[in-house]
Amino acid sequence: MTETPKGIILEIRAGTGGDEAALFAMDLYKMYSRFAQSKGWGQNVIDSSPSSIGGFKEIALEINSGEAYNLLRNEGGVHRVQRIPKTEKNGRIHTSTATVAILPKIEASEIKINAADLEITTARAGGPGGQNVNKVETAVRVRHIPSGIIVLSRTQRSQGQNKEKALEILRSKIYERQQSQQSETLDQQRREQIKGAERSDKIRTYNFPQDRITDHRIGKSWHNLEEILNGKLDSVIKAFARKKGN
């Protein structure tokens, strides 16, 4: 990557905690989406896998802005939530996690992909999008044979658009792989960000009963949880940048 990327791909995945983790993944998606909106950044959902109760098993958000990478690059890691789920009858606090990975968007000129190294298949896309989505094979699955990286794009309305988005994600993942010193491992940089999605690996905790967000990397807390989840992340991001000097 020769210069600051023109955008990022932000991936959120439900971690430990079952349905509650999927709901938390949706909360994080809304938080980052609202933050991007407040900055006037263009954004687009590239792929998503909804859960049965309305959350997300995983979701990938494309954010188009030269500012996005510098501001959000330190958001990657395991995010932990502590709250009483709506389905909890006894009022017990549950702990769940979701993982966030920040991938810089890589221009086609920076990563050369040999067409012969790609295995591309199509399928009918599920979920919202109208009858066309279900009747026509618009979803695109791309497998990069040398690395084994697999990317699925299914939210766009045409096969061509989904292929374009899948290749865009693939370039970012290949770049990420190339940056890793241990190229034989799978997605080493992202695995370093999200680790095993274990509760003990958290970078930040969102504690609803105490109306508190804590960034464990700098040992700082805030008590305006709902406001931050509504996209007002500036104070959190700036505090980390000041502490780490970046």
- Residue 193 confidence (pLDDT): 62
- Residue 181 confidence (pLDDT): 45
pLDDT tens-digit series, residues 11-70: 999 999 989 999 999 999 999 999 999 999 999 998 888 988 889 999 999 999 989 999
Q: Please give the CATH architecture assigned to the domain spanning 115-179.
A: 2-Layer Sandwich (3.30)
- Residue 128 confidence (pLDDT): 42
Q: Write out the H or E segment, with its range, that includes residue 168.
A: helix 159-179
Quote the CA–CA distance of 65 and 63 in Å, as a whole number: 6
- Residue 135 confidence (pLDDT): 52
- Report which of 186, 206, 232 is spatially closest to residue 78, judged by C-alpha positions: 206
pLDDT tens-digit series, residues 161-203: 888 888 888 888 888 777 654 434 445 555 566 555 554 568 9
Q: What is the number of other CB atoms lying within 10 angstroms of the CB of residue 70?
A: 15
At residue 27, what is the residue type? D
- Residue 133 confidence (pLDDT): 43
pLDDT tens-digit series, residues 109-146: 777 888 899 999 987 665 444 444 445 578 888 999 98
Instruction: Give the neighbor-by-neighbor strand order of the sheet with 56-64.
Output: 42-50, 56-64, 8-14, 94-104, 77-83, 202-207, 212-215, 220-222
- Residue 192 confidence (pLDDT): 61
**Domain spans, the chain:** 8-106+186-240, 115-179
- Residue 180 confidence (pLDDT): 59
8-106+186-240 CATH: 3.30.70.1660
- Residue 54 confidence (pLDDT): 84
